[in-house]
Amino acid sequence: MKEKCIFCEISNGNIPSKKILETENVLALLDVNPVSEGHTLVIPKKHYENIFDIDKEILKEISEICQKLSNLFKEKLKCEGVNILNASGKVAQQSVFHLHFHVVPRYSNDKLNLWFHQEANKNIDLNKVFNKISNIY
């Protein structure tokens, strides 16, 4: 039997949450394991596993909600910045396989380090990469 998706359970109202914002397609809720004051998850209500399979109009709505929340946190929580984070795919360290974005308010001296923890890979040839992906439009 397939394991139940915790975010589907939350969006269906089977698990309580601290909803910050809700639309027909998207839900924003406080993360139960926050790394900063206001740490919020933004999820589509319909199950999409990751960035690769989500409807682009819902993704656009999620992006707009992330911006709205960022401005709200700046005004109400007095944060000085935000990180908006997503992991899509197991190799990218996705741990819950329902697309979600973390909106993490940042404060001076919060001692969080949510950015890359390693040096750049000097073996990557930018010209080869550019030639592989430059004709996407």
Q: Which residues are catalytic, by number?
A: 100
Q: Which of 56, 59, 116 is nearest to 83 (CA)?
A: 116
Sheet holding 19-22, edge to edge: 19-22, 26-30, 40-44, 101-106, 81-85
55 φ, ψ to 5°? -60, 130
H helix intervals, 1-137: 6-11, 56-76, 126-133
Q: Residue 69 is which amino acid?
A: L
